[in-house]
Structure 1
Amino acid sequence: MMRKGFYKICLGVLTCLLVSCIKNDFPLPTIVCAIEGFEVDGMTSVKIDAEARTVVAKVTDTLDVRDIRITRLEVSNQAKVVPDEKACIDFAHFPDTGFASADSLPVTANTRVNFENPVQFTLSLYQDYPWTITVERDINRIVKVKNMVGSPLIDEDNLQVVILVDSVSQPKLTNIEIETLQLGPSNAVIQPDPALVTDFTRPRIFQVTAFGETEEWTVSVRYPTGDEGNTTTLSAWAKRAYLEGETKTGQVSARYRLAATDESAAGDWESALSNEIEIREDGSFTVLFTHLKPETTYEYEVTVDNRTDEIRTFTTEAIVEIPNLSFDDWYKDGKSWYANIDLTEENYFWDSGNKGSNAVGEANPTSPETNDVVQGKAARLESKTVAGVFAAGSLYTGSFGKVEGLSGASLNFGRPYTGRPSALKGYYKYNSGTIDKAKAPYESLMGVKDTCHIYVALFTWDKPFPVNTNTGTFVDLTWNNESMVAFGELKQGETVRDYTAFTIPLTYRDLTTKPTYVLIVASASKYGDYFTGSTSSVLLLDECELVFE
C-alpha cells in the first residue's frame, strides 16, 4: 500500500511538471475597439477621428468644462471602458461599458468628468486602445468698433487683437468707440468696461474672467498701412488647389511652383491662366492651380488689386484609393458572395443584400462574373425574387446589418474616407427588364422599363448611416442634407448590350470641406429599396476607378 501510494505521488508530481512546461502558443484575437458615438450636455458639435483615436466636442460657452456629464458613449465590439480616474467626478460609479443614452444607465451611475484638460479613455477587449477626448467651449469672439475696416485679427493663442480703422472717418485714436468686445464666454466679465476705454494711442489690456479663471487680452487699434496683405484662403486637393479671396478692382493674378527641397531647387514659376481665374459680380474670386502632384509642397504668390502678397506654401493631399473598385477580388462566406478579398477589418469595404437574400436558401443577387468581363472579374448585379420577395442586385460601400421584419433589412451605409476625387469612372452593361414587381408608392411603374442606378457621395459623418428598408429610413441625397459634401450619379433606363465606358463627375458643396465617409451604391433596379423592379434586370460593372485631376 505504501509503495502504491508512493507511485501515485510520483505520478502526480511528474504530471504537474509536464503541465508547467506546456507553453501557451494560442495568441489572443485582435479586435479593434473604437468610440462610435459621443455626446455631452450642451454639445454643439463633435468630431470623432478613428485613425487618431480622438474625440473633440464643443459645448455651449456658458458651461463649466470642469464638470461635464457624458450623455452618450457608444463603443464597438462590447469593449470595456476605463476613463482616467483622476478626471472622473465619481470614478467608482462611472459605467465600464458603452451606453447609447444616460437615461439607460442605473440611477447610481455618474458620468460627470472634468474636461479642463484632454482626458484619456481606454477601451479594452483582449488589447487596450487609448482614446483622447477633448471638450472645449464653443466661444464666438466678437469685436466691433466704429469705423472699423475689414475683420479684426484675433490671435487666440497669444490673446491679442488688432483692429484697423479708417483714417478718414476716424482721424484720431483717442476717441475710439468700442461697440462689442466679447473675447471669452458670453457670461464672462471684462474689465475695464470696454465702453469706457477710448484712447488707443497705445495697446490696452483687458481682463476677461469666467469660471474663476482670468485671461489677459491685449487690444490694439491702428490705421491700415497698405502692407497687411490680401485676405485669401487656399484649399489644396491631390492634384489641384483652389485659392479664394475678394477683389475691388477685378485685377487678380497668381503663380505657383514646386517648393525647394533638400534634394532639389525650386521649380519654375507657372502662372494661372485667364480661364483658371473666376471673378464674380460680388467681388469674390477663385484661382485654380492645376497639374499638381499628390503629397507635394508648392509655393505660390498672389496679386490682388495691384498688391502682391509674400510667397506662401501649401502641400497637396494624398490620393486615397478604394479597395477592389476593379471588382476582381471576391470572397464567399458560407452561402454569400462578397466583393472583397476577405472579411478582415482592413479589407471588408463592400457589401450587398446577399446575406438577407440567403437567409432561406442560396440566391446571391450579387455575384462575381467570370465570363462576360472587360478584364479579370466583374460584378454581376441581378434582380430576382427570393422567397416571394423582390431583391434587387446591388452593391454598396458599407455592411449588411440584419433582416428586419418579414422582408426588410438594416444596412450600414458608408466607409471611412478622406479623399476628394473629381469623378468615378468604369465600364457597365445593362439589361433593362420590364418592371414586374412593385410596391407602394411605385405601383404605377408596373409594365415600364427598369432603371439601373449608380451613385457616389461623400459625407462628413462620424459613423455609418443606419438604413432600414422596413421603416423607410434612407440617406437624403439632396443638398438639404448638410452632411453631404459631394454627389454624382448615373441612371440608365435602356438596355446597354456592350460594355460601355462611363464617367460620373462629382459636384462639391464647397471647395474647403473635407469628407469623412464615402458611399458608392450600384443597383440593377433603381427602386429596389422599395421592392420595385424587374426580375429580368442585370447590371454588370467592371474596372471602376476614382479620378483625381
Structure 2
Amino acid sequence: MINKLMYVCFCVLAVAACKIENDIPYPIVEGNIISMEVEGQRASDEGGSAQAVIDKSKRTVRLYVDDSVDLSQLRITKFTVSDGVTLIPDAGKCHDVSSFPTVGFGSLAELSASSDTRVDFSKPVTFTLKTYQDYLWTVSVTQIITRNIVLENQIGKAVVDAVNRNVAVYVSKDQPLNAVKVSAFQLGGEHGTVIPDPVTYDAYDFSQPATFLVSHAWEEVSREWKVFVYQSEGVSTGSTNIFTRTTSATLKGDIQSGKTPVVEYKKQSETGWTTLATSAITVSGTSYTALLTGLSPATSYQYRISVDGTAGDVRSFATGTATPLTNASFDNWYQDGKLWNPWPSGGTSFWDTGNRGATTISDSNSVPTDETSNGTGKAAYLESKYLMMRFAAGNIFTGDYVRTDGMNGVLSFGRPFTSFPSKLRIHYKYSSVTIDKVGDDAYRYLKGQPDSCHIYIALTDWDKPREIRTRPSERQLFEKNDTHVIAYAELVQGTSDATYRQLDLTLQYRYTNRTPKYILIVATASKYGDYFTGGTGSKLWVDDFELIYD
C-alpha cells in the first residue's frame, strides 16, 4: 500500500514538473482606422475637405454626408485599418452583420458580391478593432441638409424652422406678392422634392401662406411645409462679415436677389477709394463673396458696399502681420558634448533635430556647415547614417525632440504661428544615394532605388503641437491630409545637385476661413526615415529659408 501511494505521488509530481507556464506577454499592436469613406460624403462647410476627421488619440472618426443618402442604412465604401486588425462592428447597427467584412477594404470592388457594408449611423456607432488587444473606435456621421430658397427681390436668407416646418421669406416692398418668380426652392434639400414646384411656374402666388408637400431624397413619404412671404422695408444689402489674412481678405454678405454689389475699399490713412473688380465678386442667390487681394500686412483698411448707387456704412478691418521665420538662416548653433543644437547657447529653440537620439550611440548627423548658399554664416548639413543596427535620417524641424524611447524618438511638431504666408522660399542642395536600408517590410520595394529628400511646410490649427512617435508598435506620424492642415507645400527630390538651388514652395490653402495656430517645417535627407528606410550617406544642405507674403 505504501509503495502504491509513493508511486501515485511520484506521478503527480512528475506531471506537475512537466507543466509549462506561458508567461510570455502578448505584443502591443494598436488597431487604428487609417481612412474611411461613405456614400454621399461631403465637406462640413464650403471650401473644406470632405475627408474623414480621424483622431487616433481619442479613437474617433467624424464624417459629413449630403441629403442624398439615408443615415439609417448608410453604405461604407472604404474602410482601411492598420495591419493585423480584425473588424468587429456593432451587430445591432449593421444591416446584415453576418455579411459585414472582418478586414479592412480600400473599395467595394475588393469585396465579394454578398458583402453588405450598410450601417445605421443615425447615432454614433462603435467598431472594435481587434489585434492582440481590443480597440474601441466611435464613428459619427452628420447629415447636412441645405434648404436653399431664392425669390425675386428677396432680402436676406430665408428663415427656416425645420422642426415646425415653417419658412419666412422677406422681399422688397415693390415686389407684388401674388406674382413672385422663384429661382430656387429646395425645401427638401438639394436632392429632395417639392410639390408643387414653384420654380416651374412663371410666377407664384405668395399673397397667402403657401403649402407644399416636401420629401427628402431617401423618403417615400411627404410632409407639409408652409411658406410665408412678407414685404419688407429692408435695405438691399444686409449683414456682412470679413475674414482677414496677411495680404488678402474675404468679404461675405447678404444682398437682395437680382442685385450686384459694388465693393470699395481703401487704407484707413488714405482718402481715395478703390473699386473691386466685378470678376472678384461672386453672387449666388441672396449671398455674395468678394475677394480683396494685394493688401499690405498689418494695415488698417475701410470698405463699403453700394447697391444701385446707394452706399452703405463704412466699416473697418485690419490685415495680419507678416511674421518672419525664426532662425531661417540656420546661422545659430551650439554644441553640448556630441550634441549639436540649432539655436544659440542660452537661447530659445525654434528648430530641433533628431540628434539627441543619434548621440546616444554616435555623433550628431544634423550639424552646422560653412558650405552655405551665399558664402557667409552657416547652413544645416543633414546626413543619413546607419548607427548601431538602426538607420537614422538627417533632419531638422520646427518643434522639439522630447525624449528617446529605446532606439526610437518622441518629437513635438510645430511652433505657434498665426500668419498667412503664400510661399516658403528655400535654398538647398541634395546628394542622393541608393536606398540600402529598409526598416519596415511595407517599404522593402524601395531597396535599390534612389533615396529622396523631403522638405515640407504645413500651417495647422491643431489644439497643441503634434506628438510624433517612431516606435513601430505605437507609430504616430505627421499626415499631410490631416483635416487640421490648413495649407501645405512640399518638395520631394531623388536627384543630386552640384550646387545650391533656390525654390519657392507655394502653399496650397485648403481652407480660406481658418486661422493657423502652428507652423511646421521639416527637412530630411531621407523621405522614409520615419520608417528607418533610406540610403546610407544621403546628404541634404539647407540654408536661408524665408516666408514670402504676396
- TM-score by shorter chain over 0.5: yes
CA spacing shift, 1:169–1:253, aligned 2, 3 Å = closer
> How far off its partner does 1:306 sit?
6.7
Contact 2:260/2:283, CA 8 A, preserved across alignment: no
Contact 1:452/1:493, CA 8 A, preserved across alignment: yes
Q: Are residues 1:272 and 2:276 paired?
A: yes
Q: Are residues 1:239 and 2:253 paired?
A: no
- Residues 6-54 of structure 1, C-alpha deviations (whole Å, 9 max, x = no match): xxxxxxxxxxxxxxxxxxxxxxxxxxxxxxxxxxxxxxxxxxxxxxxxx
Taking the aligned partners of 1:351 and 1:326, their CA distance within structure 2 comes to 14
Taking the aligned partners of 1:229 and 1:455, their CA distance within structure 2 comes to 43
SS at match of 2:442: coil
Taking the aligned partners of 1:379 and 1:468, their CA distance within structure 2 comes to 24
- Residues 386-439 of structure 1, C-alpha deviations (whole Å, 9 max, x = no match): 22211101111111122223x321111111111111110121111111111112
> How far off its partner does 1:307 sit?
6.3
| Residue in structure 1 matched with residue 318 of structure 2 by the alignment | 315
Taking the aligned partners of 2:246 and 2:393, their CA distance within structure 1 comes to 36
Contact 2:422/2:549, CA 8 A, preserved across alignment: yes
| Residue in structure 1 matched with residue 264 of structure 2 by the alignment | 255
CA spacing shift, 1:170–1:334, aligned 2, 3 Å = farther
- Residues 330-357 of structure 1, C-alpha deviations (whole Å, 9 max, x = no match): 122332112212464xx21111100000
Q: 1:64-463 maps to which residues of 2 (within 5 A)?
A: 150-151=156-157, 165-166=170-171, 223-227=231-235, 229-245=237-253, 248-249=257-258, 251-260=260-269, 266-273=270-277, 277=280, 279=282, 286-303=289-306, 308-342=311-345, 344=347, 347-361=348-362, 363-374=363-374, 375-405=376-406, 407-439=407-439, 440-463=441-464
| Residue in structure 2 matched with residue 90 of structure 1 by the alignment | none
Taking the aligned partners of 2:436 and 2:263, their CA distance within structure 1 comes to 59
Contact 2:469/2:477, CA 8 A, preserved across alignment: yes
Taking the aligned partners of 1:409 and 1:356, their CA distance within structure 2 comes to 6
SS at match of 1:321: coil
Taking the aligned partners of 1:250 and 1:532, their CA distance within structure 2 comes to 60
Contact 2:156/2:286, CA 8 A, preserved across alignment: no
SS at match of 1:497: coil
Taking the aligned partners of 1:282 and 1:370, their CA distance within structure 2 comes to 61
- Residues 242-294 of structure 1, C-alpha deviations (whole Å, 9 max, x = no match): 2234675584542211114xxxxx3322222355x153778865433233222
| Residue in structure 2 matched with residue 84 of structure 1 by the alignment | none
1:310 partner letter: D
| Residue in structure 1 matched with residue 58 of structure 2 by the alignment | none
> How far off its partner does 1:508 sit?
1.5
CA spacing shift, 1:423–1:331, aligned 2, 3 Å = same
| Residue in structure 1 matched with residue 527 of structure 2 by the alignment | 526
What number of residue pairs does the alignment pair up?
344
> How far off its partner does 1:539 sit?
0.8
SS at match of 1:442: helix
SS at match of 1:165: strand
1:437 partner letter: K
Q: Are residues 1:473 and 2:476 paired?
A: yes
Contact 2:157/2:254, CA 8 A, preserved across alignment: no
> How far off its partner does 1:230 sit?
4.0
Contact 2:240/2:253, CA 8 A, preserved across alignment: yes
Taking the aligned partners of 1:250 and 1:518, their CA distance within structure 2 comes to 41
- Residues 344-398 of structure 1, C-alpha deviations (whole Å, 9 max, x = no match): 4xx211111000000123x211111113432421111111112221110111111
> How far off its partner does 1:449 sit?
0.6
Unaligned runs of at least 5 residues, structure 1: 1-143, 154-162, 172-220, 261-265
Taking the aligned partners of 1:304 and 1:396, their CA distance within structure 2 comes to 50
Contact 2:156/2:238, CA 8 A, preserved across alignment: no
1:239 partner letter: T
1:355 partner letter: R
SS at match of 1:498: coil
CA spacing shift, 1:306–1:454, aligned 2, 3 Å = farther
Contact 1:383/1:391, CA 8 A, preserved across alignment: yes
Q: TM-score, normalised by structure 1?
A: 0.56
Taking the aligned partners of 1:495 and 1:393, their CA distance within structure 2 comes to 16
